[in-house]
Amino acid sequence: MMAEDQYEQSEDYTGPWDGPERTDRLREIIARYGWPTFRLVGRNGATAAWVIAQHSDHDPGFQQRALTLMRAAARVGQADRIELAYLTDRVAVNHGRPQVYGTQVTCIDDELGPAPLIDPENVDQRRASVGLGPLQEYLDSFPDGFCDPPPDEGEAGQ
């Protein structure tokens, strides 16, 4: 499921999006077994569950439920704290709230920056507390032109 999700997120993919089907499957897994912890599915399986939850923007209620379960798993060392930080921010942004760790970015006037943050002055300390590097290093990791508007379809080939 994770490989399919990642392929559909790529620039190479032009087919239909199957995210809701993956969300439904993860919802079934959670209903039967709880959050897919390291102990239950290994690190790769836990990462796959996080990726599916992270990309379930079409179902913010499910994302919130996944966050709650993943947070409990992380408290006992059974989920990745960096992945939890990303899902924490994704859920906050999707609910119109400021993010905590600065993992969700936006483009304003063709400039890349974090979506609104809680207490921006201390974001690097919060990032470090979960194993993330400084926010500016994260922003610098995005490719040049990330915020460039897409080419006008009518100008293609000119």
pLDDT digits (tens, 9 = 90+) for 43-98: 999 999 999 999 999 999 999 999 999 999 999 999 999 999 999 999 999 999 99
DSSP state of 122: G
pLDDT reported for residue 88: 98
d(CA 96, CA 89): 11
d(CA 52, CA 12): 19
pLDDT reported for residue 18: 56
**pLDDT tens-digit series, residues 89-132:** 999 999 999 999 999 999 988 899 999 999 999 999 999 999 99
The answer, yes or no, to whether residue 16 has pLDDT greater than 70, is no
Q: What is the pTM of this model?
A: 0.85
Provide CB contacts within 8 A for 138, sequence distance 6+.
102, 103, 127, 132
Cβ atoms 54, 90 nearer than 8 A: yes
Question: For domain 1-97, which architecture applies?
Answer: Alpha Horseshoe (1.25)
d(CA 47, CA 81): 11
Report domain extents, the chain: 1-97, 98-147
Phi, psi of 21 (to 5 degrees): -65, -40
Burial class of residue 2, CB neighbours in 10 A (0-12, 13-18, 19+): middle
pLDDT reported for residue 151: 67
**pLDDT tens-digit series, residues 141-153:** 999 888 987 766 5
